[in-house]
Amino acid sequence: MTKEEFEKNVSNPYELHSIVVNNHVATDRLGVYILGQTSDTWSDFFVQRVGRSDGDLNERLRQHAREKKYPEFMFMYCDTLKENFDWECFLYHEFDPSLLNNDIHPDRPEGKRWSCPNCDVFDNESNQ
């Protein structure tokens, strides 16, 4: 799980609008996404939020489109819940939580006891 691997597999940036989402993102797929804006001055994507959907990425992105907080999105499909969770954690840490609008660390799917591959946020939960 590396940034190079993500950059190779992630989509192009698209306008975050329901119609555009429907044109590019299949329904009923798992996947992760980044929301933000393509920079005018350097060929990069300014990431403001990361996320994932464990059920329907298309629907999740259309929810964000209705919020109208972010102009563009990029996405990547994942095949399993574990892969989806690990990728969201990777992106969350890669893009620096202090710069993202994400309020909390990515959550695990219901009933899963996985650790974050990048930090120990879930490691002491049995003591709480």
Instruction: Tell me which DSSP letter residue 36 carries.
Output: E
Q: Which two tokens stand for residue 46?
A: 């300014």
Number of neighbouring beta carbons within 10 Å of residue 42: 8
Phi and psi torsions of 103, nearest 5° = -75, -35
For residue 118, the minimal CB distance to Zn ion (Å) is: 5
For residue 78, the minimal CB distance to Zn ion (Å) is: 17
Which alpha helices (H) appear in 31-112, and where do they start and end?
57-67, 81-94
Contact set with Zn ion (CB under 5 A): 89, 116, 118-119, 121
Of 19 and 121, nearer to Zn ion (C-beta) is: 121
Q: Which two tokens stand for residue 119?
A: 């930090």
Of 79 and 123, nearer to Zn ion (C-beta) is: 123
For residue 117, the minimal CB distance to Zn ion (Å) is: 7
Of 70 and 85, nearer to Zn ion (C-beta) is: 85
Nearest to 75 by CA among 104, 52, 98, 100: 52
Of 66 and 82, nearer to Zn ion (C-beta) is: 82
For residue 3, the minimal CB distance to Zn ion (Å) is: 16
